[in-house]
Structure 1
């Protein structure tokens, strides 16, 4: 979808000393509790199906229900392939879900969650999702919540129907993170992009966290375009509504 900029490169589990095993991605001895609370901004491990025995760190956009009343979550499509198993990061609880639907062009994935293992929540840290909002306008101050850089805000530089560019802080692992105006979900973090000043392109460093003012702008897909594409697919996640 994006012909400029760069897709967000995910950090792998091996980089933080986490090796895949049956106890991480399935219900078993790794589970600290029978239920896991998840919402937009929660970190997850996503099994990689390329034979590397590794997992990607990503962030959930939101948790809710589809038109069949299945409990589902949204995240970025480049986090994993259909069939990939999911584990909750903060408890390392496996057996909670699997990617059931995705699209590479609009870069979304739908995770089918186990309702016997997952408790949905509207609030993760300081961010609350109380509904879906329209895309932002240039100059709006948007905020995002990600498992790597947390809750950060910044101005919106560019908008169109399918994506917007802003100075919210994000880095590897924040892919899929919700972008908000107040308590309304307006987008999903999917990529970083070089800073363009007229004919000059400046390759800036990814954001290190709150307080880092000079960093790569972030690209987010508008949640309205993501949900429309999921609806068009007719698969798991169609008719999504936040919890």
Structure 2
């Protein structure tokens, strides 16, 4: 706890001293969290001192976040739609910042998406952070606190896809990961990262992928198979910057097979 607050305080002070340069963009005008930074401190904290700029999208994260997915930008500009797929960044209600694990259809043909259950409550509106200009494009219709997942029913101003920002889900579920096998995630706060599996009993996968607030709900992947969704760290030591190296909390992820079974709505990929 002390280390986390100290890191955040030092980084914030350095940013004030160095100054923050924001590069104008259409999205920045709509989303106050979409901030390009060009100062050297931000680049170093993101682990990319030689790049021209880094992107911050979640308060408290010093990672170089993933920019708007090209396909999401095209869907918004060409068709006025918010695209949902594995790794879509979302705002739930007025407070929560989370990530979509997967999107598709239920047995009745309705478009739905899945994120972490602690991201919100039934009835709360959902907005894609990659298409804030579209406005609310979904609503939480079911929450399971035990398995920590939430089902989002998407509106007519949404679209669904198996692929999002370079991440593709073609299979729902995989064999339990053995100790040391690599899994990856794509989250709002810390983009795409990979790490080793510590434990997987078919219900929970415990791994060393980098994750922090904002990555909740993100897809945990083995290739193009969705293993589970990111629920959170087992210790209070989030991965706020690549400078931490491996010194961050192991990440707990609920297995997708159990979630799909509990949803019991005939979920299928697009």
- Cα pair 1:66 1:241 within 8 Å, conserved: yes
Which whole-Å CA distance do the structure 1 matches of 2:104 and 2:242 have between them? 28
Which whole-Å CA distance do the structure 2 matches of 1:16 and 1:180 have between them? 27
Which one has a bigger Cα radius of gyration?
A: 2
Which has the bigger relative contact order, CA under 8 A and spacing at least 6? Answer: 1
What runs of 5+ residues in structure 1 fail to find an aligned partner?
1-14, 18-30, 48-53, 195-202, 232-237
SS in 2 for 1:151: strand
Which whole-Å CA distance do the structure 2 matches of 1:113 and 1:133 have between them? 23
Q: 2:173 aligns with which of 116, 133, 142?
A: 133
Tell me the CA shift for residue 164 of structure 1. Answer: 1.1
What runs of 5+ residues in structure 2 fail to find an aligned partner?
1-31, 35-75
Q: Comparing 37-46 with 126-135, which one deviates more in the overlay?
A: 126-135
1:171 aligns with 2:212: yes
Residue matched to 1:207: 239
1:39 aligns with 2:71: no
Which whole-Å CA distance do the structure 2 matches of 1:137 and 1:239 have between them? 29
- Cα pair 1:133 1:181 within 8 Å, conserved: no
Write the mapping of 1:190-229 to structure 2, written as runs, cut at 5 A: 190-194=231-235, 205-209=237-241, 212-229=245-262
Residue matched to 1:198: none
Post-superposition Cα deviations, 1:191-214, rounded to whole Å, max 9, x if no partner, equal 1013xxxxxxxx6x3112557322
TM-score by length of 1: 0.75
Residue matched to 1:188: 229
Pair 1:103–1:181, CA change in 2 (3 A): same
- Cα pair 1:143 1:154 within 8 Å, conserved: yes
The structure with the largest helix share of the pair is 2
- Cα pair 1:40 1:62 within 8 Å, conserved: yes
Which whole-Å CA distance do the structure 2 matches of 1:209 and 1:38 have between them? 26
SS in 1 for 2:136: strand
Tell me the CA shift for residue 16 of structure 1. Answer: 4.8
TM-score by length of 2: 0.68
Which whole-Å CA distance do the structure 1 matches of 2:173 and 2:120 have between them? 27
Write the mapping of 1:24-173 to structure 2, written as runs, cut at 5 A: 34-47=80-93, 54-92=94-132, 93-114=134-155, 116-134=156-174, 135-173=176-214
